[in-house]
Chain A
Amino acid sequence: DAKTTQPNSMESNEEEPVHLPCNHSTISGTDYIHWYRQLPSQGPEYVIHGLTSNVNNRMASLAIAEDRKSSTLILHRATLRDAAVYYCIRLGTGNQFYFGTGTSLTVIP
């Protein structure tokens, strides 16, 4: 199974960009990279996913390293509502989604 590593916590000032890193050095060539977030007292919420190219959607951008051993979730302008735990997903051999402990993002007003 692939493994992921994320910092336990990060802080950002409101309205500034946030770069959340993830190392997935054992990822296989066909595995997609997924990010989810969990707001307090809610279920996980899909954020973004990608394979090789950088991806953008209304919530965030995903920058994938050329060797695919790391990725960065980019929130372009952090708001207080973005305070959450962000998970970079580890895929199992059967494409199960495994969650680590994630990165707890604090947004400072």
Chain B
Amino acid sequence: NAGVTQTPKFQVLKTGQSMTLQCAQDMNHEYMSWYRQDPGMGLRLIHYSVGAGITDQGEVPNGYNVSRSTTEDFPLRLLSAAPSQTSVYFCASRRDRLSNQPQHFGDGTRLSIL
């Protein structure tokens, strides 16, 4: 079972460049979300989606865009990368919006902005 797949695993960007972090899940989960984790800190929620066509903001949405055109995919876009966006990014999914569902995480994308 693939679960939650994130690509790429590593990326280096220059300030001002744009990029899309890919996230795909094969479990037919309605709920997907993106987190960032800075060194020595917990995960912070960027954006989430309760189903195809529906997205909403989390704690730290500025500088990031998302869309959900299919159930399987939830890409995260950096429109103009800044050094402050250097972080490890995790995508997660769970069956639906109810709180009785465990959340599954990808292995992360390590992003450096120079």
Q: Verify if A26 is at the interface (C-beta below 8 Å from B).
A: no
- Does the CB pair B100–A32 fall under 8 Å? yes
- Does the CB pair A87–B99 fall under 8 Å? no
Chain A: interface size category: 20 to 34
Name A104's closest neighbour in chain B (CB-CB). Answer: B40
Q: Verify if B26 is at the interface (C-beta below 8 Å from A).
A: no
- Count of B interface residues, CB-CB < 8 Å: 25
Q: Are A44 and B43 CB-contacts (below 8 A) given A96-B33, A97-B33?
A: yes
Main secondary structure of the interface of A (DSSP, over half): loop
Give complex CA distance A71, B98 in Å: 20
Name A102's closest neighbour in chain B (CB-CB). Answer: B42
Q: Which residues of B contact A36 (CB under 8 A)?
A: 103
Q: Which residues of B contact A101 (CB under 8 A)?
A: 41-42
Give complex CA distance A51, B100 in Å: 8
Name B97's closest neighbour in chain A (CB-CB). Answer: A95
Pick the residue among B33, B59, B99, B107 that contacts A91 (CB under 8 A).
Answer: B99
Measured CB to CB, the closest approach of chain A to B21, in angstroms, equals 14
25 A–B pairs (Cβ distance < 8 Å), ordered by A: A31-B99, A32-B99, A34-B99, A34-B103, A42-B108, A43-B107, A44-B43, A44-B90, A44-B92, A46-B102, A49-B102, A85-B42, A87-B43, A91-B99, A92-B45, A94-B48, A94-B56, A94-B97, A95-B97, A96-B58, A97-B33, A97-B45, A97-B103, A99-B35, A100-B42
Q: Which residues of chain A have a CB within 8 Å of any CB of chain B?
A: 30-32, 34, 36, 42-46, 49, 51, 85, 87, 91-92, 94-102
Closest 4 CB pairs of A and B: A43-B105, A99-B43, A99-B42, A46-B102
